[in-house]
Amino acid sequence: MVQDPRPSGAPFKRLFFALPVSDQQCRALAQWRRGLNLRSGKPVPAENFHVTLLFLGDVDAEQVPAICAAVDQLRLPDAPLRLVLNRLQAWSRAGGLVLEPEQPPAGLRQLVYALQQAVLPLGLEGKPREYRPHLTLSRDYRAQVPEARQAPEFFLAPRHFVLYESRKERYWPLARWALDQ
């Protein structure tokens, strides 16, 4: 495993929690994105499509077991998560072209809050910001929202969420937790 040292010399990992997207959905999203004929930005590889729950950033590698143990204790949403990505947006400040849900499900916000609370005692709270569920289609996007031939409407019904490590523009799953109890 390749690990980059922090200035202190301790190895770290760039971590985030996310809802994975099935291979079939990745292909459908990539095909729909091709129809946008994007002339700006850098398309996210289809195999990296996901809906971020909580970005942890650079974390000491030795903290990964403690993070996993904390998440093992989560109280998960009672109802299955259902998410509809049906709104295309250009986030000019962040430089991203994203798909968002018009109505984020309450269970999704509950899961994100539970994750935030689980990692808080570990000193991993990060910057406080409003959670905006989204799937990034393109990074460094600096244009207006493109015209879509077909309105987006992608249904996600995740059965688990994942702790990923971001390494060399690839996302590596480190652990996963079932959502359907």
Handedness of CA 181, 115, 171, 106 (dihedral sign): positive
Helix, coil or strand: residue 121: helix
Supply the DSSP symbol for 163.
E
Are 13 and 58 in contact by the 8 Å Cβ rule? The answer is yes
Residues with a known catalytic role: 50, 134
Please tell me the distance from the alpha carbon of residue 129 to that of residue 121, in angstroms, as a whole number: 18
